[in-house]
Amino acid sequence: MAMDSILRVDMSDLSVRKEPLPAKWAKYAGRALTDAVVFDEVPPNADPLGPDNKLVVAPGLFGGTTAPNGGRISFGAKSPLTGGIKESNAGGQMSHALARAGIAALIVQGAPAVKGALYVLKLDESGNGSLMRADELAGLGNYDTAAALLAKAGDEKIVTITNGPAGEKLLKASGIAVSDVKGLPNRFAGRGGLGAVMGSKGLKAVVAPLGRGGLEHADKDAFNVAVKKFATALKAHPVSGQGLPTYGTNVLVNVINEAGGFPTRNFSDGRFDLVEGISGETMHEIGEARGADMGHGCHTGCVIRCSRYYNDVDGNYVTKGPEYESAWSLGANCGIGDMDAVAQLDRACSDLGLDTMEMGCALAVYMEAGKLEFGDSDGALAALKSIGSGTGDGPLLGSGTEAVGRAFGVSRIPVVKHQALAAYDPRPIQGIGVTYATSTQGADHTAGYSITANVLGVGGTVDPLKSEGQAALSQGLQIATAMLDSFGLCIFVAFPVLDIPEAFQAIYEMASAHTGVPWDTDMLMKLGRETLTMERLYNEGAGFTAADDRLPQFFLDEKLPPHDAVFTVSDAELDSVHDFVAATAADMGISVPKLA
């Protein structure tokens, strides 16, 4: 089996067609492929919730293989939140399931003729699919939906993609859930409102058999050698070998708080007085005391294993993680310093299908507007639930941070390209500010994770409080990340890859042995540049200009304690981040896509 077909699902006539992967897309997978499909087939001025938008789901190049940490999956579309192109990256088992069925991309297009009708797409092991009417799942949370699908599957090992009530309601803060190794719908393509795109298609879920290995390699022996080399490097690096497996991502809470860059109470402070309550160390101690499953992979083949579950006092599963970003957004950013409360908020977001980061920022802005007190976790939970019930301010909150801020006249609205910022204040950590400002995705820390050299001492050192070197750092990371996302590699491999030369070599050795095409460093970087170039041109077609590559003004004006820092990277430096786009576009022979 090879990943060589497209499964095109047209909701307008309910057809599901398997097509050969066109030659023009054959060199792409993951993020590069979702981008190429959106670039080629979705006019940049399309209504994101209309029939012309397409939801594209693509495993990375290493999907279905034993490449360590190679089972991440890309969800792409025109984003209803940002209005630009979106690639939202998730863990879980679906990358393997699609790849093993030979599917390079699932393209969901059109819109159902019957308004309000819901469907489940069921795939088989050979990559064929059919749509089944599933109105009975309407309004169900992700957990109940996945449980119903699992029960229906009986003994068959299945993987699910599910859309929660927020996506069904077409809310811009909605994300899409993917089931993990235990079948729990807790891995998310959270950002950019893609749940709303899925909802607009009337698609409630996708069910696929997990399948078995057996993806062909051009050179199996060489592939296995490279896999071993890569796994050895991932285990040897202290971050991927020890830090992440032991404490998970939330270990960053104390690090970023200590650095004075931990956004607190809607980005009004860089340190959180109640930090101990939500730190990774505290979460680890709670997890040990309650017998939580800590340190597993989100998909088969992950050797870093940063994922963990959070249990209640009785030892029952509440939610996954919470990850650092969620502990921050629903915790410090809302002034909430209690891990159990954060876990309940995280669970509510997961079940409703809401991006925890967008929601944490939306709630914090709501608090700043005086609609809730900072620290009121009961009020925050009730507010989230009102999104599910569609009552009170629920529909507004589910529309995201900017919508809430505008509705109540809040001046401090932390968004770029309409998407909420992440858990690093860009004033004392300026490199991440460059990424927030310039990313094609809207404010997105993963797009170019400058925290590496700014704070963690990985891949060199760049003073986080100064503007020097930040644009170049972010540019390099954005290019490398676009490549990793296209290969389906978890971005946490970046820590060893930045420090251990063999880890980087192993990536192109695995790619060469898998595809038979001789990959090298230049080709990896070319793939990253091409991916970003498609995204930039698409966004240009959608109306974005240099003015959209800027942070909100308050980051330039308001000093953030404790460092009293403001963001000082110049507009010219920000504009230099995409200086490769024109030349790459010329090489690729592409230009801004045509409007409809």
Strands 203-209 and 307-311: unpaired
Judged by beta carbon, residue 211 or residue 241, the one nearer another protein is 241
Considering the rule CB under 6 A, would residue 490 count as an interface residue with ligand SF4? yes
Judged by beta carbon, residue 202 or residue 261, the one nearer another protein is 261
Residue from the set 457, 460, 516, 518 that interacts with another protein by CB under 8 A = 457
Q: How many CA atoms lie within 13 A of 126 on its CB side?
A: 4
Judged by beta carbon, residue 198 or residue 357, the one nearer another protein is 357
CA 406 to chain centre: 25
Q: How far apart are CA 318 and CA 514, in angstroms?
A: 39
Q: How far apart are CA 217 and CA 215, in angstroms?
A: 7
Closest distance between ligand SF4 and the C-beta of residue 323, in Å?
Answer: 9
Please choose, out of 200-208, 294-302, 376-384, 418-426, the segment that lies near ligand SF4 by the rule CB under 6 A.
294-302
Residues 307-366 that bind ligand SF4 (CB under 6 A): 307
Closest distance between another protein and the C-beta of residue 324, in Å?
Answer: 4
Residues 308-337 that bind another protein (CB under 8 A): 323-325
- Mapping DSSP onto H, E and C, the string for 291-303 reads CCCEEECCCCCCC
Q: Provide the strand spans (E) within 492-588.
A: none
Closest distance between another protein and the C-beta of residue 513, in Å?
Answer: 28
Q: Which does 464 bind (CB under 5 to 8 A by kind): another protein, ligand SF4, none?
A: another protein
Which residues contact residue 155 at a Cβ distance below 8 angstroms, ignoring those fewer than 6 apart? none
Judged by beta carbon, residue 169 or residue 563, the one nearer another protein is 563
Q: Which two tokens stand for residue 377?
A: 């976790």
Closest distance between another protein and the C-beta of residue 237, in Å?
Answer: 8
Residue from the set 298, 345, 364, 507 that interacts with ligand SF4 by CB under 6 A = 298
CA 9 to chain centre: 23
What DSSP state is assigned to residue 453?
I
Which helix (H) or strand (E) is 406 found in, with range? helix 401-407
Using alpha carbons, select from 5, 115, 120 the residue that is nearest to residue 59: 5
Considering the rule CB under 6 A, would residue 235 count as an interface residue with ligand SF4? no
Q: Which does 69 bind (CB under 5 to 8 A by kind): another protein, ligand SF4, none?
A: ligand SF4
Q: How far apart are CA 386 and CA 372, in angstroms?
A: 14
Q: How far apart are CA 432 and CA 473, in angstroms?
A: 9
Residues 30-89 that bind ligand SF4 (CB under 6 A): 69
Residue from the set 205, 206, 306, 482 that interacts with ligand SF4 by CB under 6 A = 306
Q: Tell me the three state secondary structure of residue 314.
A: coil
Considering the rule CB under 8 A, would residue 34 count as an interface residue with another protein? no
What DSSP state is assigned to residue 593?
P
Considering the rule CB under 8 A, would residue 243 count as an interface residue with another protein? yes
Judged by beta carbon, residue 164 or residue 248, the one nearer another protein is 248
Considering the rule CB under 8 A, would residue 248 count as an interface residue with another protein? yes
CA 558 to chain centre: 29
Considering the rule CB under 8 A, would residue 560 count as an interface residue with another protein? no
Q: Which two tokens stand for residue 168?
A: 């069904």
Please choose, out of 249-257, 354-362, 390-398, 575-583, the segment that lies near another protein by the rule CB under 8 A.
249-257
Long-range Cβ contact pairs of 458-464 (< 8 A, separation 24 or more): 458/239, 458/494, 458/495, 458/498, 458/499, 459/494, 459/498, 459/499, 460/498, 462/431, 464/259, 464/261, 464/428, 464/429, 464/430, 464/431
Considering the rule CB under 8 A, would residue 464 count as an interface residue with another protein? yes
Residue from the set 28, 267, 492, 519 that interacts with ligand SF4 by CB under 6 A = 492
Q: Which does 302 bind (CB under 5 to 8 A by kind): ligand SF4, another protein, none?
A: ligand SF4
Considering the rule CB under 8 A, would residue 491 count as an interface residue with another protein? yes
Q: Which does 251 bind (CB under 5 to 8 A by kind): another protein, ligand SF4, none?
A: another protein
Considering the rule CB under 8 A, would residue 468 count as an interface residue with another protein? no
Considering the rule CB under 6 A, would residue 231 count as an interface residue with ligand SF4? no
Considering the rule CB under 8 A, would residue 136 count as an interface residue with another protein? no
Determine contact, residues 595/43, Cβ cutoff 8 Å. yes
Considering the rule CB under 6 A, would residue 489 count as an interface residue with ligand SF4? no
Using alpha carbons, select from 546, 526, 527, 522 the residue that is nearest to residue 536: 546
Binding residues for ligand SF4 (CB under 6 A) = 69, 91, 297-298, 302, 304-307, 490, 492
Binding residues for another protein (CB under 8 A) = 237-239, 242-244, 246-252, 254-255, 258-260, 276, 280-281, 306, 323-325, 428, 445-446, 449, 451-452, 455-458, 461, 464-465, 491-492, 495, 562-563
